[in-house]
Amino acid sequence: MSPSSNTVLDSALHHVLDAYRTGEFVTLGRDGTPMAWPTAVARRDDGTLLLTTSLAFAQKALNVRRDGRVALLFSDPTGSGLDPAPQVFVSGRAECPDTIMTGPCGAEEYWRRLFDRQPHSRSYLTRPMRPMMSWYYLRLLITVEPEQVIIRSPLGELAQRAVSAPVTGTGRLPGAAQLGRAPTAVLAARDASGAPVLARTRPQPTPAGYLVEVPPDCPVVRGPASLLVHRHDERLNHMYNALVRGDLRPTDAGWLLVPSTVVEPMGSGRAVDALRVLRRTSRSTDRYLERRGLRRPKVQWDRFRDLAHSAPDPDRS
């Protein structure tokens, strides 16, 4: 499929976007670094895209409030059932009010779809889990108004080419272990206007950094950038994500990402990471509220439970 560009989400793409379990969402950090993370996305009838973020991971929201230029890439078709699965790049502007959502009101379809596609998240609503998981349900809503849409070829060819040359070796290079967990990663960079752009690529390690292939429709420029690696299974279990931050530079061999730091918000996947993540998310939630002089609001557990019960349960089908 050859790349094409539109200014709105064409109706022919609706089933594609609806099928993807996750998309890569990029915002601009305070220092201008494009930072991408996987997230669930719901398409609204008015053409906008709805995302949410918990107070524990509010940096995306803070970035949007400072600079509304954002982008999304739908490039990991795991669990989508799409064959082939075109990649879809969407750039636009986002808004994120400071209203803390304690229930599903205004995002019912988002939560219904999440309960359907991630059945294990229903367990968070049980009474024994509520004290530990209240942070998960305190959310901020992010609405993206698409301005440009680019369709790229399915991932298959890139992934197949990458399998024969996975990212290995160069153990001293920051991010080598994390990028070595997958044959491809998502490059988050900026274009000449400073807006964020995204492209799935196959990083190749060199002594100086990672060479990355960039498609012609992704006009990157030199500057801060990052590489996101993430995975999940068909039911959004066994999730892992890591971000390798650095500087993107042109070289004779192509674009080179010189890494500086690695961020693993959910840990490295070890069993002991779960407790650390729970402690960190609780502290981060409290910190967000304290800075605004707010007490932790009460989650509308019953409304979430009713919505979860109304959603299809693949385990009962």
Residue-wise pLDDT tens for the chain (317 aa)?
A: 334 444 468 898 999 999 999 999 999 999 999 999 999 999 999 999 999 999 999 999 999 999 999 999 999 999 999 999 999 999 999 999 999 999 999 999 999 999 999 999 999 999 999 999 999 999 999 999 999 999 999 976 565 554 434 444 455 899 999 999 899 999 999 999 999 999 999 999 999 999 999 999 999 999 999 999 999 999 999 899 999 999 999 999 999 999 999 999 988 767 678 888 999 999 999 999 999 999 999 999 999 999 999 887 656 54
The predicted structure's pLDDT at residue 157 = 58
Q: Which residue has the tokens 């707010």?
A: 294
Q: What is the DSSP letter of 295?
A: P
The predicted structure's pLDDT at residue 19 = 97
Residue 269: name the closest of 190, 188, 182, 185 by CA. 182
- Please report, in angstroms and rounded to a whole number, the separation of the first and last CA atoms in the chain: 36
Q: Which residue has the tokens 């590489």?
A: 227
The predicted structure's pLDDT at residue 266 = 85
The predicted structure's pLDDT at residue 229 = 97
Q: Which contiguous run of DSSP H or E holds residue 250?
A: strand 240-251
Residue 91: name the closest of 49, 154, 126, 127 by CA. 49
Strand 69-74 versus strand 23-28 pairing type: antiparallel
For the residues of 195-218, what is the DSSP string, one character each? -EEEEEE--EEETTEEEE---TT-
Length of the chain: 317
Q: How many Cα atoms within 13 Å fall on the side-chain side of residue 167?
A: 28
Kindly give, in sequence order, each residue whose CB lies less than 8 Å from that of residue 48, ignoring residues fewer than 6 positions away.
143, 144, 145, 146
271: left (phi over 0), alpha (psi -120 to 50) or beta: alpha
Q: Which residue has the tokens 């349960």?
A: 313
Q: Alpha-carbon distance 207 to 224, whole Å?
A: 19
Q: For 196, phi and psi rounded to 5 degrees?
A: -75, 145
Dmax over CA atoms of the chain, in Å, equals 59
Residue 137, token pair as written in the block: 């349900």
